Structures are given as C-alpha cells and as structure tokens.
C-alpha cells in the first residue's frame, strides 16, 4: 500500500516538476522559494516567524534538500512519503475492525483519491497533518489495547510525540486533535483508564500552551470566535471559486453560516458552480467517488456503539475539523485542500460501512477481539 501510494504521488510530482517548475499554486511556490533561500543563507529575520510556525514541515524538507541536493522531486519526497504513510494508517485502522479486503480497499482509496494525491504531491504541509492525525488514531488503538505498565509508558510517549509534532504544523488542528484525544480516552476500558484520561487531559492542557495557543488552546478559540468573518473574507478575496455569502457580523451569524460552510467542505462544487469556474470540473468529477464514500461513511457510524477509543477519536477529530474549517472557509479552493484533514476519517468510516453492508453484522467487534493484551 505504501509503495502504491508513493508511486502515484511521485508520478504527479514529477509532472509538476517537469512542466510547472515544481509548483502549481502560490503556497507551494512560497514554500519552495523559502526552502531554497534557507539552504543558501539560512532563515532570514523577516521569515523567522513563518518558518517557526511551519518548522515541522520546512525543516525536514530543507534537510533532505541539503543531503540529496537540488535534484528533481527531492523537495516533494517529504509530503509524498507522508501521504503514503496516511494510506498505510487507514489500512491498519480498518484491518482492526473489518476484513482484509475491505481494509485494502479503504487504503487503496486513500492512496489514489485524486485530491489526496495532488495535495501530497506538491510542496505543502497538508499531508504531514493527515499523517499525524491518522497515526494518532493508530497509536491510540495500540495504547488502548494494552495493560502492562511498560506499554502504557510507550503509548503515552508515542501520543505525546505525535501531538507535539502536530503543534509544529497547524495550531488550530492541534487543538481539535487534543480535544478529540481527551474525549476518546474516556471510552477506554481496563485498569489504566484513569491514567489514560489523565495523560490525555495533560496533553490538552499543556501542549497547546507550549505551542503558543494558550492553555487547552483557549487563545486560538478566543481568536477564532472574534475573527471568523475576517478570515472568510480574506480567503475569498480574488477567489474565482468563492461560493455563497461569506460576510457575517456577530457570533450568531457565524453559527448561521455553518450550514453553508459544511456544504462547502463536504458537497461543493455542485453542478451549477461549474459555470463560474471550469477548473472546478476535475473536483466535481472526483465526487463520483466522494459522494458514495460519504454515504458509506454514514453507514459506518454504527461502529461508534462499540466504543473503541480510536474510532471515537477518528469521528470526533473528523467532525471537529470539518466544523472548524466550515466556520472559516469562504472559498472552495482552500476548502478543498483543507478537506484533506478529515478525508482519511471519512474513508475509515466508509470502510466500516462497507464491511457492515457486506457482512450484515452489526458490530465491528465480531471481526476482531479488542480484549486488552499484556
């Protein structure tokens, strides 16, 4: 699965390098130029803040560029590998609860879904965020299955490392992730349940604070609550794919905007949008796969009744991220890219839904025992 995903991404990245000088959009061009400048003369004072807020992405890219030199595809290796790891994580998560065939199908979809391939073939940090989130779900599954003190410590360290790494990529997503982890550990059974919840609570309180988002991310939440209108307007300025009315005037209107934002994140572009921008056609064609995936994911929600912490986390992280982006996005182009943060979660539940429909079984527990192991 890893090599299938990597091959597809490198083929797309190779096309971008050969015909578009290594970038397609302003964001990936900015990252590319910043990495090149860094390797020539280090981080410049004017770029320090931006570099530090994205160091989890920029430093690995800069390092591999220094080691391998200015070769084609070198700078694209990091996001391509991260996107490929995400496909593996989706496969592993599904394998815990479904048949091998369904798990491979879900992993294959994560490996070749056009939008996921595109965003992890360009020099963008998004695929590293997907990787961190999906690996957090997988680490939580492993951690929840074990009762030995040594395994508890290993799991706590792994969760801390993953959440800490996410803090170097995107603070808003970090806060959603920490909240989802804290809530999901409440479903954990066994002797170590209180300890699990305590570690998760500490991660929620401390990691966002150390990352500059305030205790439990309160500064980010406060900032977001007071500036959603400005964020939507800023994203929509000059956007040929800006849909709907983005301006709002208070918190109430921000909440009223949520259905429009959710439609933007999950359903757009719709057929009548194609007349606004013909470049939306490819995204619309992907919906031939995306809409059935969403439908299957709805069937997969029944698996939450089994109270597996990793599935609870996947659901809460997916819903939380979709809601967060729905409140701030006013332009389809950026929404389409940020949708990738929860596409992996949708695929996981689509796999669970497909398995449920195929097998006719009401609980994923019938496939795999979740009895904690020592």
Is 296 within 8 Å of 353 (Cβ atoms)? Answer: yes
Check pLDDT > 50 for residue 20. Answer: yes
User: Could you tell me which of 1, 93, 75, 82 has the C-alpha nearest to residue 32?
Assistant: 75
The better pLDDT of the pair 181, 242 is held by 181
Backbone angles phi, psi at 146, to 5 degrees: -115, 150
Q: Is 233 buried (19+), middle (13-18) or exposed (0-12) by CB count in 10 A?
A: middle
pLDDT tier at 79, thresholds 50, 70, 90: very high
Mean pLDDT computed over every residue of the chain: 86
185: which DSSP letter?
A: G
Decide: 159 and 195 in contact? Cβ < 8 Å. no
- pLDDT of the residue at 247: 42
* Higher pLDDT among residues 214 and 273, named by residue: 214
Query: Quick check: 245 pLDDT over 80?
Result: no
Q: What is the DSSP letter of 270?
A: P
Its pTM stands at: 0.88
Q: Once rounded to an integer, what is the mean pLDDT over residues 81-96?
A: 98
Residue 368 has pLDDT above 50, yes or no: no
Q: Round to whole Å and give the CA distance between 122 and 128.
A: 12
pLDDT digits (tens, 9 = 90+) for 129-155: 999 999 999 999 999 888 888 999 999
pLDDT at 373: 42
| Per-residue model confidence as pLDDT tens digits over 277-305 | 667 888 889 999 999 999 999 999 999 99
- C-alpha torsion sign, points 35, 37, 39, 44: negative
Q: Please count the other Cβ atoms lying within 10 Å of the Cβ belonging to residue 11.
A: 12
**Confidence band, pLDDT 50/70/90 cuts, at residue 224:** low
Q: What are phi and psi of 74, to 5 degrees?
A: -60, -50
Q: Is 238 exposed, middle or buried (0-12, 13-18, 19+ CB in 10 A)?
A: exposed
> Domain extents for the chain?
216-364
Q: Which residues pair with 146 in a beta bridge?
A: 373
Burial profile 34-43: b = 16 or more Cβ within 10 angstroms, e = fewer? bbeebeeeeb
The confidence score (pLDDT) of residue 250 equals 55
With bands split at pLDDT 50, 70 and 90, how would you rate the model's confidence at 226? Answer: low
CA pair distance 326, 305, nearest whole angstrom:
27
The per-residue pLDDT for range 97-139, each reduced to its tens digit, is 999 999 999 999 999 999 999 999 999 999 999 999 999 999 9
Given a cut of 60, whether residue 83 has pLDDT beyond it is yes
Contact 42, 66 (CB under 8 A): no
* Residue 365 in this model has a pLDDT that exceeds 70: no
Residue 249 has pLDDT above 50, yes or no: no
CA distance 339 to 110: 13
What is the C-alpha to C-alpha distance for residues 213 and 58, in angstroms, rounded to an integer?
20
Rounded to whole angstroms, the Cα distance separating 50 from 85 reads 26
Mean of pLDDT values over 200-212? 94
Distance in angstroms between the alpha carbons of the first and the last residue of the chain: 29
| Other Cβ atoms closer than 10 A to 348 | 30
């Amino acid at each position: 699965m890893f090599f299938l995903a990597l091959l597809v991404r490198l083929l797309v990245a190779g096309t971008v390098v050969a015909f578009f000088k290594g970038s397609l959009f302003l964001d990936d061009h900015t990252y590319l130029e910043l990495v090149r400048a860094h390797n020539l003369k280090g981080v410049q004072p004017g770029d320090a803040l931006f570099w530090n807020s994205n160091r989890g992405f920029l430093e690995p890219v800069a390092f591999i560029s220094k080691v391998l030199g200015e070769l084609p595809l070198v700078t694209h290796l990091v996001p391509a590998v991260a996107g490929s790891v995400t496909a593996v994580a989706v496969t592993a998560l599904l394998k815990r609860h479904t048949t091998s065939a369904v798990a491979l199908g879900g992993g294959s979809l994560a490996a070749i879904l056009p939008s996921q391939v595109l965003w992890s073939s360009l020099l963008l940090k998004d695929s590293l965020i997907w990787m961190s989130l999906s690996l957090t779900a997988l680490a939580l599954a492993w951690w929840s299955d074990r009762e030995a003190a040594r395994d508890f410590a290993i799991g706590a360290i792994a969760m801390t490392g993953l959440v800490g790494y996410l803090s170097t990529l995107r603070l808003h997503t970090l806060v959603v992730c920490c909240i989802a982890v804290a809530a999901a550990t409440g479903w954990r059974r066994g002797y170590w349940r209180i300890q699990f919840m305590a570690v998760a609570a500490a991660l929620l309180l401390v990691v966002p604070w150390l990352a500059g988002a305030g205790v439990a991310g309160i500064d980010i939440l406060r900032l977001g609550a007071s500036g959603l209108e400005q964020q939507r307007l800023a994203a929509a300025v000059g956007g040929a794919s800006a849909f709907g009315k983005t301006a709002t005037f208070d918190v109430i209107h921000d909440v009223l905007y949520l259905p429009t934002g959710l439609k933007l994140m999950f359903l757009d572009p719709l057929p009548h949008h194609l007349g606004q921008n013909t470049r939306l056609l490819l995204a619309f064609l992907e919906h031939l796969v995306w809409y059935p995936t969403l439908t299957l994911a709805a069937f997969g929600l029944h698996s939450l009744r089994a109270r597996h912490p990793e599935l609870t986390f996947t659901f809460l992280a997916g819903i939380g991220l979709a809601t967060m982006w729905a409140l701030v996005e006013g332009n389809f182009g950026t929404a389409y890219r940020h949708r990738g943060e929860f596409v992996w979660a949708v695929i996981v539940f689509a796999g669970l839904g497909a398995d449920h429909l195929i097998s006719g079984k009401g609980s994923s527990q019938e496939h795999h025992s979740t009895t904690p192991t020592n």
